[in-house]
Structure 1
Amino acid sequence: MADAATTPLHVAAIPFPGRGHVNPLLNLCKIMAQKKPDIRITFIVTKEWLGSLNGSSSNEAPPPSVRFATIPNVLPSEKGRGADMDGFMEAVLTKMAQPVEQLLDRFDPPVQFIVADTVRLTPSSSSSSSA
């Protein structure tokens, strides 16, 4: 592993899994990467969300310093979640934490900074294990 002087800042971005959250956070990450090219940003979404982002013509490709990482589809599908919003919210709050924490633990260099929605409660517990 490189020393701290040569290792770029590694930021994990963890959006709430909804279009009004994923797209704005991705846009923020693109801006951050353009302003500070030596930053490494890992954008964490479910596999379903990554497929949606890759298939959308409205999303221009992020700079090379913005990378995607996925967790399994542990949530009800985006396509039908409106039918059971309470179940979806419960899944977000209970089923996402473990896969996100496991993913954060595998990063090299480790994540030094987490950007997340205020709705997400899990990054605070994850941040202590990855600092």
Structure 2
Amino acid sequence: MRAFLEEFKNFISRGNALDLAVGVVIGGAFGKIVTSFVADLFTPVLGLMIGGVNFQHLAWEIGGSPEDPVTINYGSFLQAVFDFVIIAFAIFLLVKAINTLQRKEEESPPTLPPPEVVLLTEIRDILNRHSQ
């Protein structure tokens, strides 16, 4: 049991597991923000633009009694689709920005070698020419 706990401790203290945990927590919080944006800001404005439709109340009644109808709530589904598209777009923009920053770092001009290395290279080249 002690070896198992030691192995678990090593696993959890590695950077990857901690990074993943932080990513999940931040992702969950980001998802809540986007869900609120879609539900509270985007969908009402979109509903007004298309004639005052409230997406959350869109449903097809497929049976049941008048007191207890059976419905397919496609408005809630549309809201979830909007959430997904906006989250996916936000993640796309974030990844694109990170990739752009990494590309700029990779494209930085090569650093010049120290003067000692340049001098030694010149000496080597001179010696090679004289030995031929």
TM-score by length of 2: 0.26
Larger helix share, 1 or 2: 2
Which of 1 and 2 has higher RCO (CA within 8 Å, sep 6+)? Answer: 1
* Structure number, greater radius of gyration: 2
TM-score by length of 1: 0.26
Larger strand share, 1 or 2: 1
